[in-house]
């Protein structure tokens, strides 16, 4: 009677049986704990391997960007060829490695007798000119002239360049892209390239709205190109405001040709420069215009902060180099401030032809206005975006039959507040 025997399911146990059952339960509990710890550690290892895989993706990184505060000016080689600058490209891929690539605009019937001369005096015949895909049979087009770097030569701050019997000119080496190695930290996460302001469409109100809505979406850097033939003094105060915060970078890039000589104001030159300018600098780069906005279609699945950036981090993974975003035309009938909130009617159809792209710049060799023309490795993929996931809202006077309140609903309050704050600082 000195020891009470516990019962299980109504059966009396001896002290020995009770002790044995306690030991069994303790061993069982210990095993469960060990399994839980092992499972947790295995999960941590898997996550760590995933992170390591992501961080250790080997991409080329841009080392040198020279004279970026100066205007980019073409040098006339002859009446048919104008050279902008050279790129030292060490990337391995389907366009050959260790090349100097001179970016030129040239008459379409120019003979292919280009040459490069390196600092040690070695003269190299250029390979066949690489014609950009979107020259559209205009009299002048955009080309890369590729010269293989001799083993006994190094690339300095410039290479000598010529065509035919023309005088040698200096092509400054602006971008230096070495062989692949790790990029752990980008200066920017999501950059928008705006290839050329032109015409009388652009206002301070539109520029501020564009910048603030994209900042809400997760953009942290915008590069805009200005042709010196266009004057945008009415935007100078807003441009200075965003430049001061390093959110906006303005590139002066005059094209030495008339508009009827080259496709779409020479925009392909600006697109190409913005691609190479951001290699190793920005993790993702989007190409669009001031009246276009990349809008996620399922924001409820994304964080409220920087939803577009978070979406790109889920879409542009592994061998996905570029996404073509389908276009949704929004009828632009009400002008003035906050036009994205005032114009909510859209066309019923989606345009999958005149798309715009978001990409990982290190994986691209040539980018067009509406599509990625060439990746640098054959196993990289340029894919079509899903209209149910992301769309390019292009505000244009094209009519509309369906209402789309997504921008108003998802970003309207924040956009209105930020817009008012900036306009007050600009005293407008």
Residue-wise pLDDT tens digits, 198-230: 666 789 999 999 999 999 999 999 999 988 655
Confidence of residue 25 (pLDDT cuts 50, 70, 90): low
Q: Identify the bridge partners of residue 391 per DSSP, sorted by sequence position.
A: 295
Which tens digits make up the pLDDT trace of 262-301? 998 899 999 999 999 999 999 999 999 999 999 999 999 9
Range name among 12-21, 84-93, 128-137, 381-390 with the lowest pLDDT average: 12-21
The pair of structure tokens assigned to 253 is: 């890039």
> How confident is the model at residue 184, as a pLDDT?
72
- Distance (Å, rounded) from C-alpha 141 to C-alpha 25? 80
Q: Copy the structure tokens of residue 372.
A: 């990625």
What is the distance between the alpha carbons of residues 376 and 41, in angstroms, rounded to a whole number?
38
Q: Cα dist. 114→98, 104, 124, 143, 257 in Å?
A: 18, 11, 9, 12, 21
Neighbours of 188 (CB within 10 A): 19
Cα gap 127→143, rounded to integer Å? 12
- Two structure tokens written together for 233: 């003094």
Output the pLDDT for position 228: 67
pTM confidence score: 0.84
Q: How far apart are CA 19 and CA 284, in angstroms?
A: 64
pLDDT of residue 14: 53
Tokens of 274: 């913005």
Contact 191, 284 (CB under 8 A): yes
Answer whether 356's CB lies under 8 Å from 287's CB. Answer: yes
397: left (phi over 0), alpha (psi -120 to 50) or beta: beta
Span 31-52, mean pLDDT?
46
Tell me what the pLDDT averaged over the chain comes to.
86
N-terminal to C-terminal alpha carbon distance within the chain: 94
């Amino acid at each position: 009677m000195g020891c009470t025997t516990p019962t299980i399911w109504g059966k009396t146990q001896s002290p020995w049986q009770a002790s044995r059952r306690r030991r069994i339960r303790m061993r069982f509990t210990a095993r469960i704990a060990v399994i839980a710890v092992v499972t947790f550690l295995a999960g941590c290892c898997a996550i760590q391997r995933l992170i390591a895989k992501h961080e250790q993706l080997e991409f080329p990184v841009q080392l040198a960007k020279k004279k970026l505060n100066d205007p980019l000016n073409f040098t006339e080689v002859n009446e048919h060829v104008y050279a902008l600058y050279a790129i030292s490209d060490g990337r391995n891929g389907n366009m050959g490695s260790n090349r100097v690539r001179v970016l030129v605009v040239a008459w379409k019937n120019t003979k292919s007798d280009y040459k490069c001369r390196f600092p040690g005096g070695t003269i190299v015949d250029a390979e066949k000119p690489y014609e950009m895909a979107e020259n559209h049979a205009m009299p002048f087009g955009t080309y890369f002239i590729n010269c293989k770097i001799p083993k006994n030569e190094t690339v300095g701050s410039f290479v000598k360049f010529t065509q035919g019997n023309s005088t040698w000119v200096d092509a400054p080496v602006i971008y230096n892209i070495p062989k692949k190695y790790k990029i752990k930290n980008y200066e920017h996460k999501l950059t928008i390239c705006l290839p050329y302001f032109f015409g009388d469409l652009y206002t301070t109100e539109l520029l501020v709205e564009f910048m603030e809505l994209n900042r809400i979406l997760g953009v942290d850097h915008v590069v805009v190109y200005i042709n010196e033939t266009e004057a945008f003094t009415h935007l100078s105060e807003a441009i200075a405001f965003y430049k001061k915060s390093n959110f906006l970078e303005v590139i002066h890039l005059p094209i030495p040709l008339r508009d009827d000589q080259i496709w779409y104001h020479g925009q392909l030159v600006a697109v190409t420069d913005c691609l190479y300018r951001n290699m190793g600098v920005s993790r993702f780069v989007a190409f669009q215009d001031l009246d276009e906005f990349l809008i996620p279609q399922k924001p409820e699945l994304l964080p409220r902060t920087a939803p577009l950036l978070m979406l790109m981090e889920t879409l542009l993974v592994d061998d996905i180099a570029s996404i073509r975003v389908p276009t949704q035309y929004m009828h632009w009938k009400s002008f003035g401030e906050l036009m994205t909130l005032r114009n909510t009617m859209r066309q019923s159809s989606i345009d999958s032809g005149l798309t715009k792209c978001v990409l990982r710049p290190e994986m691209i060799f040539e980018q067009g206005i509406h599509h990625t023309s060439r990746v640098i490795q054959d196993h990289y993929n340029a894919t079509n975006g899903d209209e149910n996931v992301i769309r390019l809202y292009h505000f244009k006077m094209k009519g509309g039959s369906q209402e789309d309140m997504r921008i108003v609903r998802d970003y309207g309050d924040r956009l209105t507040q930020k817009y008012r704050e900036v306009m007050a600082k600009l005293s407008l």
